Amino acid sequence: MKTSVKATLIAIAVAVVLLIVGIVYTITQRAAAPDPSADGGPQVVRSDSHVLDEGGADAVTVVEFLDFECEACGAFYPVVEELRETYLGDITYVVRYFPLPGHPNSTQAALAAEAAAQQDRFEDMYHLLFETQAQWSHGTEETPAAFRAYAEELGLDMAAYDAAIADPATRERVESDKSDGEALGVSSTPSFFIDGEPLVLQEWDDLEQAIEKAVNG
């Protein structure tokens, strides 16, 4: 186990285990979304999926279905960042949206990320959303103004941002990710796939162990 990763994992191990065990979100409703079977069925990665790191030809593909408002996703965020650094070049890291119905701002956060992506600033918004999660999460209603403020903080073209948020295609893009996830059996976040295979999280270092095995196997 890499030392730097192990240190971070140990520091949050108890919190992550509790979150994984105690905060399992079963989907009780499904958003109206494009039928993934219309273009060949559900896919773990699509051509428009957001790639944070592009590895080499033999890189392991790691896909995370996430909800920006999810506490477990927030707990995994620093772990993921260290793993991305540790295995830079050896993995291709892909992020897909999976907003859960129990989180009022989860869809708004995903829309903000997608609007930023249209200005090639997805990763910047991705980082900002997780770094500020405690400030905007777990309210009782949506607060789109908070995410617009983050877009301004990033220096985005605000007219283009507002147009993207208002465009139904932006929401459809988010819902398309979720539709794929549901068809692939995703029901909680974060959910990881390693080279197309779902990873069942049972121990706090399962993600690192799976990546290390896939890279060195």
| Confidence class for position 38, pLDDT limits 50, 70, 90 | very low
Residue 50 is part of a domain; what is its CATH number? 3.40.30.10
Residue given tokens 């995410």 in the structure block? 147
Beta-carbon contacts of 58 under 8 Å, excluding residues fewer than 6 positions away, are none
Burial of 65 (0-12, 13-18, 19+ CB in 10 A): buried
pLDDT of 25 strictly over 60: no
Query: Which residue's structure tokens are 């465009």?
Result: 167
Q: Which of 34-48, 120-134, 187-201 has the lowest mean pLDDT?
A: 34-48
What average pLDDT does range 166-194 have in this prediction?
Answer: 98
Over range 141-146, report the average pLDDT. Answer: 96
What pLDDT was estimated at residue 217?
84
How confident is residue 130, by pLDDT bands cut at 50, 70 and 90? very high
Q: Average pLDDT of 140-169? A: 97
| Location of structure tokens 């958003």 | 31
Number of domains observed in the structure of the chain: 1
Which amino acid type is present at position 91? I
- Banded model confidence at residue 39, pLDDT cuts 50, 70, 90: low
- Region of poorest pLDDT, from 11-20, 178-187, 200-209: 11-20
User: Mean pLDDT, the chain, as a whole number?
Assistant: 87
CA 23 to chain centre: 16
How far is residue 200's CA from residue 192's CA, in Å, rounded to a whole number? 8
The boundaries of the domain holding residue 168 are 3-216
Higher-pLDDT residue of 5, 109: 109
pLDDT band at 199 (very low <50, low <70, confident <90, very high): very high
Query: How many other C-beta atoms lie within 10 A of the C-beta of residue 139?
Result: 12
